[in-house]
Amino acid sequence: MNSGTSSSRRSIRPDRRIAVAILVLSLVGFADSAYLTVKHFTGGPLNCSVFHECEKVTTSPYATVGGVPLALLGASYYLVVFLLTMAYVDLGKSGLLRWTSRLTLVGFLASIYFVYLQLFVIRAICPYCMISAATSTLLFGLGLIVLFGGRTFRNG
């Protein structure tokens, strides 16, 4: 990434820093959801673990929508966010970053619903799902900064 060159300037531009932060977070979210997706399809060890209660969440009827595992939808979401942000870094069109930011609302709302399901319906916490909830919340926060925060984005 280019953050190395910008650090040689007087100050790092916040939009560039935010883009890098979005890239890192979406990559973390992608890795996390991809792990759950692979687990979903390979079946993994078919048992309930002494150490965690993830399987109760990931084997619940809420783990798929119309046969598609939520983990796969999550991985696709993070991939789209990552690629859009890459396109922004490449082309410099701030519209791309603003569309990415609007998209993070979808991820954030989905996460609220999934955390609600884990806490009140399934009554079990899946750590990997909570990592995803955290990354999508942070992405949403960055999206808000892009859309409504920093002068850089309005006045260029």
Partner 1 sequence: MKSKKRKGSKTDPGTRSRTNAPLAQRIALWISAFIILGLTVMIVVALSEKASKPPPRIPTEPVELRSTDWIKGAKDARVVLIEYSDFQCPSCARYHPVIQKLLAEFGDRIRFAYRHFPLRQHSHADEAARAAEAAGQQGKFWEMYDLIFDGQTTWDNLPEAQETFTGYARQLGLDMNRFKSDMDSAEVRKRVEEDRRSGSRLYLEGTPTFFLNGVAIQNPQGYDEFRNIIEQAIHQAG
| Contacting positions for partner 1 (CB under 8 A) | 2, 6, 13, 15-16, 19, 27, 30-31, 34-35, 38-39, 42-53, 55-56, 59, 79, 82-83, 86, 88-95, 97-98, 121-124, 152-156
Taking the complex as a whole, the smallest distance from the CB of residue 153 to partner 1 amounts, in Å, to 8
C-beta of 55 vs 133, nearer to partner 1: 55
Which token pair is 155? 């006045």
Closest Cα to residue 132, out of 120, 124, 142, 140? 140
Report phi then psi at 46, rounded to 5: -80, 70
Minimum distance between the CB of residue 106 and partner 1, rounded to whole angstroms? 20
3 state DSSP class of 64 = strand
Q: How many whole angstroms separate alpha carbon 90 and alpha carbon 109?
A: 29
Would you say 6 or 137 has its CB closer to partner 1? 6
Contacts of 7 (CB under 8 A, 6+ apart): none
Residue number with CB closer to partner 1 (44 or 109): 44
- CB-wise, 55 or 111, nearer to partner 1? 55
Shortest Å, Cβ 61 to partner 1: 9
Six-digit token string for 150: 């920093």
In the three-class reduction of DSSP (H, G, I as helix; E, B as strand; rest coil), residue 40 is classed as helix
What's the min distance (Å) between Cβ of 90 and partner 1?
A: 6
- Min CB(65)–partner 1 separation in Å: 19
In this structure, the number of other CB atoms found within 10 A of the CB of residue 116 comes to: 11
Q: What is the amino acid identity at position 136?
A: S
Indicate the residue among 59 and 64 with the shorter CB distance to partner 1. Answer: 59
